[in-house]
Amino acid sequence: MYYYMGIDVGTQGVRCVVSDAGGQLAAARSVGFERLNIAETPGWYEQSPAHWQAAAETAIADCVGQLKDKGIAPEAVRAISIDGTSGTVVPLDAAHRPLMNGIMYNDPRAREQAKRVHAALSGQERKLGYTFGASYSLPRVLWVMEARPEIYEKTALFAHQADYVAGLLCGEYAVSDYSNALKTGYDLIDGRWPGEISGALGFDAGRLPRIVRPGEAIAPVSKDAARRLGLSTSTMVTGGSTDGYASALAAGAVKPGDWASIIGTTFVLKGVTRDLVIDPSGSSYSHRLPTGAWLLGGAGNIGGRVLNGVANGRPFDALNAEAEALIPTGVRCYPLPGKGERFPFVDPDCEPFYIGDLTGGRLYPAVMEGVAFAERLALERMQALGCAVGDAICAAGGACRSDLWLKIRASVLDRQIKVPAVVDAAMGSALLAASADLGGLEAAAASMLRYDKIADPDPRLTAAYADIYGRFLEDVRKIYGVEC
């Protein structure tokens, strides 16, 4: 029997899973980073590549140990794929040593560079349907060129987070995938680095990696990594992806019409379209799948963060039991954790609203309902762009732990919600690792994804929520000026 390793290098640590071709986990381990932000400048966000390496290698070695305890040889692991945080980059010297800390996905320092990238690559923005911002990696590499010229001069390669970890395993650092490379300016349609990067921006594109598709073979595990971690040199390291991309795959968004709704601290919606869809509002954009289809989606600020605040340390099971008798609450709300929204609409100045009776414990379920209303609004905006949405939605994230919230969401959406048995982004990377062996990404998902929880719409709630949602849309139009 063969196995496939997926490694998720996230914001807080590394998650490693090893799955067989039927989706059964043979090993899993999570390891947190030593520190989450080591930037000395207030407001900046940096992490040490040494911390990435330590966490990744601990997780990998532990999983290899788990396999050994089960009598599974390292040679049985056929391939490894790695995902990392989108937009995170680190400059490497000619010996592949980091020259500074990694600049994280949420670091804002490259705002001025983003304006110049926006001006220089406006044609590509229109072509692919996104806008370069400070969260993108291309403005960050320009920042290094301009603000840290002494580092830029020594830089042989700008690596994405996933590239660096892959390099530690196979020795090939100068290879990336087109999911991570999107925010560095890679043209997903023409399959090249645009000439404007060197021409208009004056950046040496020779410092950027060679690009492969997610799941494509890069190189086998090196002798050094095999010796240190217990892996086999017969195991292939393959192209990876961003963490959001991998999360969508793990939830089941792999073929046209599939949609993955991921609610954790925030809300992410991603769906597969046969053709590239351009969102004129700029709230969503597309990655490309290895199949040639497109993964359209956006990430909002709404989500579970507010619910955690409302719970205020009380057990969620107790709160859910009390809330069961209070739904539908009749409350219309958009429970933002602060100012501004990114998806399903863009408004940096909007603030949360609550309309209705929030007494008697109604705030907790009302927040659940408000997030579900935003989820439905997002799906309807995708449909307005011409996207097909099926009768079932795949779901992932911490919100799936609440059966009550799943029932509310299914009833508001009037769609079945399916929760996979393994919802880790690392499982999405395992799918990519297995895709070559199993006949492609769709075949790998059909073989490896299993759904152990299904939530159907409650007929008692569906009609009531349809009426409340209609009034919610009117509130959104009036308060935020959003066309629904």
Q: Given this model, what pLDDT does residue 484 score?
A: 80
pLDDT digits (tens, 9 = 90+) for 337-347: 999 999 999 99
Q: Kindly state whether residues 301 and 272 are assigned to the same domain.
A: yes
pTM over 0.85: yes
Q: Band the pLDDT of 118: cuts 50, 70, 90.
A: very high
Task: Taking the CA atoms of 324, 341, 106 and 82 in sequence, report the sign of the dihedral they define.
Answer: positive
Q: Kindly state whether residues 161 and 271 are assigned to the same domain.
A: no
Q: Kindly state whether residues 102 and 12 are assigned to the same domain.
A: yes
Q: Is residue 474 in a domain?
A: yes
Q: Is residue 132 in a domain?
A: yes
List the CATH number of the domain containing 91: 3.30.420.40
Q: Is residue 78 in a domain?
A: yes
pLDDT digits (tens, 9 = 90+) for 282-322: 999 999 999 999 999 999 999 988 999 999 999 999 999 99
Q: Kindly state whether residues 233 and 307 are assigned to the same domain.
A: no
The domain of 93 spans 3-239
Q: Kindly state whether residues 104 and 193 are assigned to the same domain.
A: yes
Q: Kindly state whether residues 314 and 402 are assigned to the same domain.
A: yes
CA distance 210 to 385: 33
In the predicted model, is pLDDT for residue 96 greater than 90?
yes
Q: Kindly state whether residues 127 and 263 are assigned to the same domain.
A: no
Q: Kindly state whether residues 272 and 181 are assigned to the same domain.
A: no
CA distance 175 to 219: 10
* 248, 395 contact by CB (below 8 A): no
Q: Kindly state whether residues 258 and 209 are assigned to the same domain.
A: no
Q: Kindly state whether residues 273 and 231 are assigned to the same domain.
A: no
Contacts (Cβ under 8 Å, ≥6 apart) of 466: 414
Q: Kindly state whether residues 465 and 359 are assigned to the same domain.
A: yes
Single out the residue in 183, 211, 239 at which a domain terminates: 239
Q: Is residue 157 in a domain?
A: yes
Q: Is residue 247 in a domain?
A: no
pLDDT digits (tens, 9 = 90+) for 134-172: 999 999 999 999 999 999 999 999 999 999 999 999 999
Q: Is residue 140 in a domain?
A: yes
Single out the residue in 239, 264, 287 at which a domain terminates: 239
Query: How many domains are contained in the chain?
Result: 2
In the predicted model, is pLDDT for residue 398 greater than 90?
no
Q: Kindly state whether residues 287 and 143 are assigned to the same domain.
A: no
Q: Is residue 381 in a domain?
A: yes
Q: Is residue 248 in a domain?
A: no
CA distance 244 to 265: 13
Q: Band the pLDDT of 423: cuts 50, 70, 90.
A: confident
Q: Given this model, what pLDDT does residue 397 score?
A: 86
Average pLDDT, the chain: 96
